Amino acid sequence: MRDSLTKRRVSEEELARLVARAFGADAGVTGWRELDGGTYNAVYAVTLDGGRELVLKVAPPPHLKLLTHEVDLMRTEVDFYQRAAAVGVPVPEVVYPGFERDLLGTDFAFLTLVPGTDLHSLVDSLPPAEIAALRGQVAGLTARLHTITGSRYGYPLRDSRSWQPTWRGAFGAMVDDLLADAARLDKPLPAPPERIGTLMRRHADSLDEVTRPALVHFDLWDGNVFVAQGPNGWEVTGFIDGERAFYGDPLAELVSLALLREPEPELLAGRQLGASELRRLNLYRTYLYVIMAIEGATRGWYDEERVRFESWLAERIDAQLALL
């Protein structure tokens, strides 16, 4: 389990108060344990009296200085699940959103437990045909997700500069905020933040082709896609961790769906990307890679493994910049 400064862990007494708030004074807990795999929220599996199994997520304390777009992300996550469920995308059900902040000083939420196993754990053991079929299901579900339309573009966050009437304006603000974070955190990148911003703005005109603010998960790597074996074979049982969602170009979804690799044909669903789409995809990859490169400073990650990863990622960013 990777530790992080952002994880606001709860005691047994605090858990009892959260359960009482959500389910009443008579509700009790028969078992609970912290779940590993996450690097931002504290996450617990909680079993209530009667055997009901839930997930408790606790947001970082609001006073922490995080990346600029990391504001009230649990509220974004809850809203994402509710909107995705309304169009038939399998996601956790929001059982209780706790946004009062009087018990912990931060947000929390009880969610249903998604059955199955994350795809990342199975990708090397399942037959390639099964993996391809699952990726095809993922493509179909994300296409359904992308039918959801927002009122504006960008991150739907409190006081967000990125909440704009155009995708060019929104993504430009997202990039500016991120590069300001990189400068503030003094994280080494292959080029100065100002240079990266200049290279990315060279292709801003291609963003004008996006004319509808679609809901984009933007963190749908295999670890956030759950699958299980059903009567007709393997099937997707849910998308989790929707707190990074924004409204914008659905093409951006491919960056996390095919994280650090080229998208498989099943994810493209027979689509051939044109030159302008490839330019936009390079912009979105660069954006995500810079997030991945600098977020460790806000998490307290300074070990040798992290240093090696950031050095490797810098090479990927450098390769992306060469395409801009």
What single string gives the DSSP state of each residue in 303-320? SHHHHHHHHHHHHHHHHH
Residue 86 has a pLDDT of 98
Q: What fold characterizes domain 12-112? A: Phosphorylase Kinase; domain 1 (3.30.200)
Rounded to the nearest 5°, which phi and psi values hold at 226? -100, 140
According to DSSP, the residues that pair with 233 across neighbouring strands are: 230
Tokens of 30: 């028969």
The residues pairing with 235 across neighbouring beta strands, listed in sequence order, are 228
- At 1 the pLDDT is 45
Distance CA 165, CA 151 (A): 8
The SS3 assignment for 277 reads: helix
For residue 2, what pLDDT is reported? 60
Lookup: tokens for 51: 């055997």
Distance of alpha carbon 301 from alpha carbon 2, whole angstroms: 9
Contact 138, 222 (CB under 8 A): no
Residues 6 or more apart whose CB falls under 8 angstroms from that of 302 comprise: 296
Q: Which pLDDT does position 38 carry in this prediction? A: 78
pLDDT confidence of residue 36:
86
pLDDT tens string for the chain (324 positions)?
Answer: 467 899 999 999 999 999 999 999 999 999 999 998 778 999 999 999 999 999 999 999 988 989 999 999 999 999 999 999 999 999 999 999 999 999 999 999 999 999 999 999 999 999 999 999 999 999 999 999 999 999 999 999 888 999 999 999 999 999 999 999 999 988 888 899 999 999 999 999 999 999 999 999 999 999 999 999 999 999 999 999 999 999 999 999 999 999 999 999 999 988 999 999 999 999 999 999 999 999 999 998 878 888 899 899 999 999 999 999
Which of 26, 262, 244, 226 has its CA nearest to residue 154?
244
- E strand or H helix at 284, and its extent? helix 275-294
* Cα separation, 107 vs 105, whole angstroms: 7
Query: Domain segments of the chain: what residues?
Result: 12-112, 117-321
Q: Which overall architecture, per CATH, does domain 117-321 show?
A: Alpha-Beta Complex (3.90)
The H-or-E segment that residue 289 falls in is helix 275-294
Bridge partners, 41 (sequence order)? none
- Whether the CB-CB separation of 213 and 145 falls below 8 Å is answered with no
DSSP 30: E
Beta bridge partners of 115: none
pLDDT at res. 3: 77
Q: What residue ranges in the chain does DSSP mark as E strands?
A: 29-34, 42-48, 53-58, 94-98, 108-112, 117-118, 214-216, 225-230, 233-239, 246-248
What whole-number distance in Å separates Cα of residue 98 and Cα of residue 274?
A: 44
